[in-house]
Amino acid sequence: EPEVTQTPSHQVTQMGQEVILRCVPISNHLYFYWYRQILGQKVEFLVSFYNNEISEKSEIFDDQFSVERPDGSNFTLKIRSTKLEDSAMYFCASSEPLIYGDYEQYFGPGTRLTVT
Amino acid sequence: QQQVKQSPQSLIVQKGGISIINCAYENTAFDYFPWYQQFPGKGPALLIAIRPDVSEKKEGRFTISFNKSAKQFSLHIMDSQPGDSATYFCAASTAAGNKLTFGGGTRVLVKP
């Protein structure tokens, strides 16, 4: 069964450093997303990406964040200068919405980002 | 208006019992309501979803009930098993491709 994969599973970085989180969405999917989950809290939307551009972003997704689809398979989230409050689990998701139906989003296993 | 409110925060049920989790929303533009199951250290996994044109959907031991007029929906887990012990999130979306807005989650513990 196709699945979303993410690397690394755990990333430890120092405050102020840049990190890149990587995702490989399901191959025939068209929409890509990043969500985050601070420990013990709900899953929060960060950004959605379609047709090589951001389609929606939340207020969390400020200028420190960027996304990119550098090739036909990878989807990345970059945090330019990490802060302590960026420590969270970051989930990539993808979906293949048709004209009607199929809203389903499939999540990867997540990358745990720890900023020290 | 974008919030989805979920209750209870935690739930303990005996094996074989029924787990019931409730969610409420305000945004009438929401038209897709999935439930996700999450085990510790894992990503959310889609469990079951419903659109507002039906009032109930059942898949195995999992049933979603939907009340459009009350803007509420709920997940029932019948014959709960210890393997069902997980955190359950309701969510909502306005259109295909759009973001999911998640509820706060319910930690379910099924005691053997």
Q: What is the pLDDT of residues B62-97, one digit of tens each?
A: 999 999 999 999 999 999 999 999 999 999 998 777
Note whether B105 contacts A42, CB cutoff 8 Å: yes
Note whether A103 contacts B96, CB cutoff 8 Å: yes
Q: What is the pLDDT of residue A89?
A: 96
Residues 6+ apart with CB under 8 A from A62: none
Q: What is the pLDDT of residues B3-13, one digit of tens each?
A: 999 999 999 99
B45 vs A56, A106, B26, CA distance in Å? 23, 7, 25
DSSP tag of B49: E
Q: Which two tokens stand for residue B28?
A: 């009438």
Q: Which residue spans within chain B are E strands per DSSP?
A: 4-7, 10-14, 19-25, 33-38, 45-50, 56-59, 62-67, 72-77, 86-92, 101-102, 106-111
Closest CB to B43: pick one of A31, A42, A109.
Answer: A109
Task: Tell me, yes or no, if A72 comes closer than 8 A to chain B by beta carbon.
Answer: no
Task: State whether residue A75 is helix, strand or coil.
Answer: strand
Q: What is the pLDDT of residues A2-19, one digit of tens each?
A: 899 999 999 999 999 999
Is residue A100 scored above 80 in pLDDT?
no
Q: What is the pLDDT of residue A101?
A: 59
Q: Provide mean pLDDT across the span B31-50.
A: 92
Across all residues in chain B, what is the average pLDDT?
94
d(CA B72, CA B24): 4
Closest CB to A97: pick one of B45, B46, B96.
Answer: B96
